[in-house]
Amino acid sequence: MINFEHVSITYPGATEPVLAGVNLQIPAGELVLVVGRTGSGKTTLLRAINGLVPHFTGGTLTGRILVDGRDTATNPPRELADLVGMVPQDPMSGFVADTVEEELAYGMECLGLAADVMRRRVEETLDLLGLADLRNRPLLSLSAGQRQRVAIGSVLTSHPKVLVLDEPTSALDPGAAEDVLAALQRLVHDLNVTVVMAEHRLERVVQYADRIVIVPGDGESIISGTPSEMMGNSPIAPPVVELGRLAGWQPLPLTVRDARRAAGPLRELLIGHAAPLRIIKGERDATPLTITEKLTVRYGDVAALRNVSITITRGEIVALMGRNGAGKSTLLSTMVGLKPTSAGIVRTNGKDPREIKGPELVHSVGLVPQDPGDLLEASTVAGECRSSDHDASVEPGTTRALLALLAPEVMDGVHPRDLSEGQRLLLALAIVLAARPPLLLLDEPTRGLDYPTKARLVKVLRELAATGHGIVLATHDVELAAEVATRVIVLAEGEVVADGPTQAVVLASPMFAPQVAKILAPEDWLTVSEVRTAMIEQVG
């Protein structure tokens, strides 16, 4: 179905190809998972399948890519639209209509299909993806999970043989992610669609894959194989695989169910060892960095937040969790003064955040939004870093040093729009951190980040908390919360439904429990690193 023959791709101005000598065959009717480090070239590989690379992005492509016999070099994206459907990382960036039904029909209109065919396919797609109740809804009113399903549906109505998705679950809560992955699995099994997707959160998707393609980057060759073959030696693996490696399980489990069956001896080994408490050692006091009392925020007649009362103090890392649309981003925006309140109060650094302006605001609270591009405006990474140093009134080179810590692979002369999604996020984080605000707010901070990069982020967050910063993470990444959070707050329908120590909250929730907790239940272990430490102590 898809054949890469000696393919190399080099972007303008680059000295080395982002992909070099790629030979890859993907059969029809498989779900193929593309994994690799942040910025390794995964998105380039995906975009090459429908000709966006190089027809849209520019650059030089050598070798040949055939999709169902068509050469992408001589068939630009518009001539592959009936064959390949592409769903970008941000579904909203690809929408052109106003309502769900109109968006589903748009692609068929471009192909000139008959009205009766269009009507039938819209109905089929609404049923297949569970969108029938949303057909007349404005796209702007949908949750992230609903938008993702609409984006998939908008390309499915053209009946492509290949569906390409870039990070389809990165902005979704665990429940919404399961819905999207179940829909993709139905396409593969029932309709013989070939699905190729890039995804960093392997704990969500590896069990669905028929084949894994690893893009190492740095000029190394791409390799592919079955999930069992690839996970055996891959430096990038989900917690269930890492735990299996640590415990010496053979074959390595890819699902929580298989791991639980093998985990009996490990549970016995851990008896008598208590999982460590989540306490950040360092500067802590009871002085609130931000406080809300009976906070209510409305969008028209809809209450995004209702009677929310919380306090964030120095030295704690709070994971703000909940379904898409629960009010997490609204709460962060209100803490930094971007949203007006309808009732109640919010105080950040002792003041109404809407009254804090300019340098005082930058040095009081920092927000890294879900779309990091909102903070980026220069034409180069170096320019962004210089502007950040100036705006934060810090020593020249401060922002660049932070970026080198977070993303050492990012070069000064690169345009921010040419960075991967994860690299743009790390650049935005470095810009915010340059001012050293005591309160740091991060909205989906691990979107687009691989496991090693996420580990560097965790280390930075712990160091910041140890020096007295308060950190709030709005996240769907249950593994991040398990690794770094000292406290978890769960929102539902704009209300606080849980607030307490990480172990107490996540262990009580099947939705937000990490893989290790599910495998070793009823014991209260959350991460592989905790188990590794206990095993070392047992041996010692």
Per-residue pLDDT tens digits for 516-529: 999 998 888 999 99
CA-based nearest residue to 315, from 284, 290, 338: 284
Torsion angle of C-alpha atoms 181, 187, 189, 194, degrees rounded to 10: -100
With contact defined as beta carbons under 8 Å apart, do 192 and 225 qualify? Answer: no
Q: What is the structure's pLDDT at 419?
A: 83
Contacts of residue 245, defined as CB under 8 A and 6 or more positions apart, other chains included, come to 237, 252
Query: What pLDDT was estimated at residue 450?
Result: 84
What confidence score (pLDDT) does residue 540 get? 53
- Coil, helix or strand for 184? helix
> Is the distance from CB of 196 to CB of 164 less than 8 angstroms?
yes
User: Going from the N-terminus, what domains does the chain have, and what CATH number goes with each?
Assistant: 2-236 (3.40.50.300), 274-364+439-506 (3.40.50.300), 376-436 (no CATH)
Q: What does the DSSP assignment read for 413-457?
A: TS-GGGS-HHHHHHHHHHHHHTT--SEEEEESTTTT--HHHHHHH
pLDDT in tens, 354-406: 888 888 888 899 999 887 877 888 889 999 999 999 988 899 999 999 999 88
Q: What is the pLDDT of residues 140-150, one digit of tens each?
A: 888 777 888 89
Residue 474 pLDDT grade (very low, low, confident, very high; cuts 50, 70, 90): very high
Q: Round to whole Å and give the CA distance between 257 and 124.
A: 33
Nearest to 370 by CA among 308, 410, 324: 324
Whether the per-residue pLDDT at 299 is higher than 70: the answer is yes
Q: Residue 491: pLDDT band by 50, 70, 90 thresholds?
A: very high
Across the chain, mean pLDDT equals: 88
| Residues β-bridged to residue 489 | 320, 499
Percentage helix, strand, coil for the chain under 3-state DSSP, each rounded to 5: 40, 20, 35
Burial class for 417, CB neighbours closer than 10 Å (0-12, 13-18, 19+): exposed
Residue 282 has pLDDT above 60, yes or no: no
pTM above 0.75?
A: yes
